[in-house]
Amino acid sequence: TLTRERIRLEDRAVKMSVKTVGKEKVGVLDIPGFYVGLTDDVKVQLQKLEKQNVSSIVIDLRSNGGGALTEAVSLSGLFIPSGPVVQVRDNNGKVREDSDNDGVVYYKGPLVVLVDRFSASASEIFAAAMQDYGRALIVGEPTFGKGTVQQYRSLNRIYDQMLRPDWPALGSV
């Protein structure tokens, strides 16, 4: 028999912990994926880490296959004052620049980003932005190297008519 069980989405949410290294407290944010709402969740965790007086933060993106590009951009914005995060070239060759423009840095302290060969897409974009802005030390192995983004596009139609070769259209027989 097949039993239906509830899916626990919190398994995919950001997790926060504090490690003691010598006399220092280090905050660790484990981010398994770039889901919609990640940046807001990380803001909450950053406030908790601030109350615990951590001296630095480690962001763990190992085995993070990516997710929402918008979250990669907005999460980057928590650690940089403002500026471009990524450029995307569409199939027509037009380049769009996604930037952080709010001018607010939510965490200014030392930052380390952990990556591995399974870190891809949005996680690579975030790690690259942190490296490009000199904001974090990137530690680990070379990432997946996806280099592309995808997005959902509405086809702006309610239905398509299915045609069969050499047969009348369905519904006309």
Q: Output the CA–CA distances (angstroms, integers) from residue 56 to 47, 53, 77, 115, 116, in the order listed.
A: 13, 9, 18, 17, 21
121 is catalytic: yes
- Three-state SS sequence of 39-63: HHHHHHHHHHHHHCCCCEEEEECCC
- Annotation says 123 is catalytic: no
Of 15, 25, 43, 146, catalytic: 146
Q: How far apart are CA 27 and CA 20, in angstroms?
A: 9
Among residues 74, 119, 121, 123, which one is catalytic? 121
Catalytic position from the list 25, 99, 116, 132? 132
146 is catalytic: yes
Which residues does the annotation mark as catalytic?
A: 121, 132, 146
